[in-house]
Amino acid sequence: MQSDSDIKPAISPRADRNPSDDLVVDAIPGKAVVLCLGNRYLRDDGVGIMVAEALKGSLGRDVLVVESRTIDLSLVSLYEGASKVIVVDAMESGATPGEVSRCVLVPNGKTIEGLAGSHAMQLHEIFDVARQTGLLKCAVIIVGVEPKDCGIGEGLTPEVKEAIPRVVAEVRASLQA
């Protein structure tokens, strides 16, 4: 189950705010959202978190960079009024480890009538719920990095670590498009 501490903005809290205010993040209408997914304790699965750290403070006030270790319905509120949504994550596709790919998530047009559970959802289901409820009205871009090792342990493999500048460049290009 995801707790509020699983979602945090990849920005420094303001000095005049209570740090606990930053544990739950809501979207700010008109901003682009960069959602960086991963778990730094599962080797290459942590690439999204490392990209969030690389992006901190470098994209301007009109972009909200958020990191999350899990995927569940609590993420839906991030997309309300967003001008663009970009997701960064490790993505197994059989490509060479460290390869960066980009795709646009296209709504399937189906109405969601029931879900197996709200805590074990697939990423596309989260976006389907957000679209069906009217919260998400923009394109969703997925920037994936082919992992080499998602086993237990800290630190990215060299192939995935070397991909971080390419992922950052792809996020920046996608924000400009």
User: Is residue 14, in this structure, part of any structural domain at all?
Assistant: no
170 by DSSP, 3-state: which? helix
For the stretch 96-145, pLDDT in tens is 999 999 999 876 666 666 655 655 667 777 788 888 888 888 888 999 99
Whichever domain contains 39, its CATH number is 3.40.50.1450
User: Is residue 125, in this structure, part of any structural domain at all?
Assistant: yes
- 165, 173, 177: which is closest to 100 by C-alpha? 165
User: Is residue 37, in this structure, part of any structural domain at all?
Assistant: yes
Structural domains counted in the chain: 1
For the stretch 3-60, pLDDT in tens is 444 444 444 333 333 333 333 455 567 789 999 999 999 999 999 999 999 998 888 8
User: Is residue 1, in this structure, part of any structural domain at all?
Assistant: no
Whole-structure pTM value: 0.78
| Domain interval for residue 67 | 24-176
pLDDT band at 68 (very low <50, low <70, confident <90, very high): confident
